Amino acid sequence: MPIERRTQKDGVSSMPVAQPGIFAQGTRSHRHLEFDANGGVEPEAVLAALRELRQPSVTAGGANIVVGFRPSLWQELDASARGVGDFAFPVLDGLANTPHDVWIWTHGTGEDVMLDVARAVSALLAPVAHLATDLAGFVYHDGRDLTGFIDGTENPPVEVAHATAVVPAGQPGAGGSYAITQRWVHDLAAFHALAVEDQQRVFGRTKPDSVELDDTAKPANAHIARVVIEEDGDELEIYRRSVPYGRVEELGLYFVAFSADHTRFEKMLRRMFGHSGDGLHDRLTDFTRPVSGSAYFVPSVDALGDVLG
């Protein structure tokens, strides 16, 4: 099986197609499901269950469905993805590390549809895997985190998001994407006890309109000062699709990010949690903490078709 899958259209080869749900916009209801294979179950049995994802009872209501695999599992399933399995969630002090086998992210038109889809997906996988995570997320007001700050301001523009998130042609896993997920629990009482000016210094941006503070006002440990990294004059970008989640007693953010280069995740997390050698950590981590952390490979539509049949 070749490393680079290409489809033919009018005699011209084309790049494998990324899963479209990664980039689909305008959806306000999200559901994240993580599964662990049951003991003794072979990977092929998990694949057999996933083959039914396209059936109408699962996708009713126009839901977007994104499927990711533990990278080492996907490498085992797809011989062309050699090297993908080297990716794992970073092991660092301060980070939760909770690997799982399969991640299903569905987002669409409303909580009722997402619940129906989540139940259908879980029923398909129930004979071979057990549900480890079931988290419902939502768009909060005009795209803000529960802290009140606009989320995802650092995302690349839509026209270049694909290049940021998708493995380029010629590399193992071309058309796919590396992804991490994290559940962060906020201490909103402590954060909102700060004056707005101090909150802005935590993020490095203004609260009403997300304008970056100038260098004289932005602390070196502000959130964006830690996660915006430049190498050789280029910013190391990732593509974020995070959503708030919560109930009265627990409020937070389900962080989701995609990248064509998985090393970017560890570089950012090292800077956030004080492992980059400069003695600084991200001030935001004084007000929110990660309680989960998983790494996935999200294969292209072409690769899924080849492996799932």
Over 90: is that where the pLDDT of 236 sits?
A: yes
Which pLDDT value is given to residue 6?
43
Which pLDDT value is given to residue 8?
43
Q: State the average pLDDT over residues 164-175.
A: 96
Categorise residue 23: left if φ over 0, alpha if ψ from -120 to 50, beta otherwise. Answer: alpha
Over 70: is that where the pLDDT of 162 sits?
A: yes
Tell me the pLDDT tens digit for each residue of 258-276: 999 999 999 999 999 999 9
Which pLDDT value is given to residue 61?
67
Q: State the average pLDDT over residues 118-145.
A: 96
* Cβ-Cβ contacts under 8 Å for 19 (sequence gap 6 or more): 66, 67, 177, 298, 299, 300, 301, 304
Which pLDDT value is given to residue 239?
98
**Whole-structure pTM value:** 0.93
Q: State the average pLDDT over residues 19-39.
A: 96
d(CA 260, CA 163): 7
Over 70: is that where the pLDDT of 11 sits?
A: no
Instruction: Yes or no: say if 9 and 117 are a contact pair by the CB < 8 Å rule.
Output: no
Q: What 3-state DSSP class applies to 226?
A: helix
DSSP string, 19-70: PGGGT-----EEEEEEEEEPTT--HHHHHHHHGGGGSHHHHTTT-EEEEEE-
Q: State the average pLDDT over residues 8-17.
A: 62
Active site residue 151: yes
Over 90: is that where the pLDDT of 290 sits?
A: yes
Tokens of 106: 């569905």
Which residue of the set 78, 151, 282, 302 is catalytic?
A: 151
Tokens of 150: 């606009």
Q: State the average pLDDT over residues 8-22.
A: 73
Which residue type sits at 296? Y
Instruction: Yes or no: say if 179 and 256 are a contact pair by the CB < 8 Å rule.
Output: yes
Q: How far is CA 263 from the centre of its chain?
A: 14
Q: State the average pLDDT over residues 224-251.
A: 96
Tell me the pLDDT tens digit for each residue of 37-69: 999 999 999 999 998 887 655 665 679 999 999
Q: For CA atoms 194, 196, 198, 204, give the dihedral sign.
A: positive
Q: State the average pLDDT over residues 148-158.
A: 92
Instruction: Yes or no: say if 35 and 118 are a contact pair by the CB < 8 Å rule.
Output: no
pLDDT band of 146, cuts 50, 70, 90: very high
Tokens of 248: 């009265």
Beta-carbon neighbour count of residue 121 at 10 Å?
A: 26
- Quote the mean pLDDT of the chain: 92
d(CA 174, CA 300): 7
DSSP E strand stretches across 169-281:
177-186, 230-231, 234-235, 239-240, 243-247, 250-259
d(CA 224, CA 218): 9
